[in-house]
Amino acid sequence: MRLLLVEDDPALGEGIRAALKPEGYTVDWLLDGLSAVHAIEQESFDLVILDLGLPRLDGLQVLKRVRSGKHQLPVLVLTARDATGDRIAGLDAGADDYLVKPFDVAELKARLRALLRRSFNRSEPLLEYRGIVLDPSSQLVTWQGQSLSLPRKEFLLLHELLVQPGRVLTRDRLQQVLYGWDEEVESNALEVHVHHLRKKFFPELIRTVRGVGYMAEKA
Amino acid sequence: MRLLLVEDDPALGEGIRAALKPEGYTVDWLLDGLSAVHAIEQESFDLVILDLGLPRLDGLQVLKRVRSGKHQLPVLVLTARDATGDRIAGLDAGADDYLVKPFDVAELKARLRALLRRSFNRSEPLLEYRGIVLDPSSQLVTWQGQSLSLPRKEFLLLHELLVQPGRVLTRDRLQQVLYGWDEEVESNALEVHVHHLRKKFFPELIRTVRGVGYMAEKA
DNA sequence: CGGCAGTCTTAACCGACCCTTAAGCACGAA
DNA sequence: TTCGTGCTTAAGGGTCGGTTAAGACTGCCG
């Protein structure tokens, strides 16, 4: 589960991040609104935690930009206690939930779970590719009449590849999907996952683009 | 189908109303508890959607008044997430179902349908799955010609799983079914219940989806 | 009041699975 | 052939869920 945290207070940001990592979230953290917009447009997140008071581009503007896109990306907004107007404005701009600072970490976690659950129940479409059907909400795959559950990373990887067949995904891109930005893996873990997927399904499922990355052939 | 909506937040009230109208419901909307009591006594509704935090007369009081009457009017209660006591109190006062804000509209619709179906049939339909028959009204289960009574939590759990086989229920979802939204259980109680069910029936009854939750295989 | 039965949570332990790592092999390009 | 890149395989550490038993709590009955 990959989250984008947009928060300019270093202490708070670090705190949130530290709290969420053990829960199994991959947390990417940006400190200003402009970078956030770019990241959201180019990467793929499951949820955004957005502070409203941000340098370079205000949180509300970020929210509006996100909503103008097609993504139904859930956004949890953090507001200062006394910023009454923010709340209203945020509602209008389409935030999915709020938290007023200072807040309890347990509360944050609970709201995240609720939001993610909602967004996944929101019938995320099944993904089909050559007889393989992915169900993002349950992390389950149907293949040759059997339903099997893939390990989390394998599912993430496969999902990323099949979202848009024919597109070549660089090694870096894939590693970001699996690990986020910082925690780099300096081994061939990615290749091992690919190997497992090829074995579970069929070898031609994932084509190697030597020196670049991997792709699923356009059907 | 005529519903009474009692909700003092104008935005939320309008939202719910707008969502339900296209479904063919007639929605009357009141903003305080006192008017609600009067309306319920004098008019005839098929169901009430009741917020607990209300001006003039608290939602709980409304609920008690309704229940003291002879009407078996189904009541769906809306509660704020952090209102810890509300849930328990609401249960005691006889609400038929709950929804915690913020909620998904699809969820609301689904619960309404379920409630209305229940109230019209009076007898909730038996649930059958691979030779196991659940009777929600008596909390009894028939299995291999024997009728046995399950402990409450086990029954709830099993019922939730069998309502829609093939659907994966997250741990969170199941814990909410068993415990509600506030009281967190920081142990493996859920797994223990699952274990008991598997032992009483057969192990394949409940399939583990690692990292996600549990499911009953589609028959 | 005391004991019993049923329910549920807690905690410790264990096995299975997930993921990374690393070493050796295969294969394509120069 | 040689080098570089990716593939294959297996081992280990960590995490998750399963299993079991003990104890708290409740309601019931003597």
Domain ranges of chain B: 2-119, 127-215
The dotted CATH code for B2-119 is 3.40.50.2300
Interval A123-138 mean pLDDT = 85
Residue A135: band (very low, low, confident or very high) from pLDDT cuts 50, 70, 90: very high
- Which residue, counting CA atoms, is nearest to the C1' of nucleotide C8? B189
Q: Does A151 touch chain B (CB under 8 A)?
A: yes
Q: Does A113 touch chain B (CB under 8 A)?
A: yes
Where helices occur in B28-125 by DSSP H, the ranges are 33-42, 59-68, 84-93, 105-121
Q: What are the chain B neighbours of A96 within 8 Å (beta carbons)?
A: 102
Residue B84 pLDDT > 60: no
Q: What does pTM read for this prediction?
A: 0.64
CA distance A48 to A3: 6
Q: Does A32 touch chain B (CB under 8 A)?
A: no
Residue B66 pLDDT > 90: no
Q: What are the chain A neighbours of B210 within 8 Å (beta carbons)?
A: 149, 151
Sole residue written with tokens 């920081």: B186
Q: Does A35 touch chain B (CB under 8 A)?
A: no
Please list, in sequence order, all residues whose beta carbon lies within 8 angstroms of the beta carbon of residue B163, skipping any fewer than 6 positions away.
B127
Q: What percentage of chain B has pLDDT greater than the value 90?
A: 26
Contact between residue B78 and residue B99 where contact means Cβ atoms under 8 Å apart: yes
Whole-number distance in Å between B152 CA and C5 C1': 16
Residue B83: band (very low, low, confident or very high) from pLDDT cuts 50, 70, 90: very low
Interval B162-185 mean pLDDT = 80
Q: Lowest mean pLDDT of A76-90, B83-97, B138-152, name the range.
A: B83-97
Contact between residue B132 and residue B141 where contact means Cβ atoms under 8 Å apart: yes
Q: What are the chain B neighbours of A149 within 8 Å (beta carbons)?
A: 209-210, 212
Q: Does A72 touch chain B (CB under 8 A)?
A: no
Residue A212: φ, ψ to 5°: -125, -65
Q: In terms of CA atoms, which chain A residue is nearest residue B169? A: A138
Q: Lowest mean pLDDT of A84-88, B8-12, B55-59, B193-197, name the range.
A: A84-88
* Cβ neighbours of A115 (radius 10 Å): 19
Q: What percentage of chain A has pLDDT greater than the value 70?
A: 84
Average pLDDT, chain A: 83
What is A127-215's CATH topology? Arc Repressor Mutant, subunit A (1.10.10)
Residue A180: φ, ψ to 5°: 85, -165
Q: Which two tokens stand for residue A132?
A: 């393989």
Residue B121: band (very low, low, confident or very high) from pLDDT cuts 50, 70, 90: low
Residue B87: band (very low, low, confident or very high) from pLDDT cuts 50, 70, 90: very low
Residue A124: band (very low, low, confident or very high) from pLDDT cuts 50, 70, 90: low
Q: Look at residue A202 in the predicted model and tell me its pLDDT.
A: 95
Q: Lowest mean pLDDT of A35-39, A128-132, A181-185, name the range.
A: A181-185
Interval A210-218 mean pLDDT = 92
Q: What are the chain B neighbours of A152 within 8 Å (beta carbons)?
A: 211
Strand D contacting residues by CB (7 Å):
A 24, 188, 191-192, 194-195, 198, 203, 208, 210-212; B 171, 188, 191-192, 194-195, 198, 203, 208, 210-212
Residue B123: band (very low, low, confident or very high) from pLDDT cuts 50, 70, 90: low
Residue A73: φ, ψ to 5°: -65, 125
- Helix H or strand E segment including B78: strand B75-80
Nearest to B75 by CA among B104, B126, B42, B40: B40
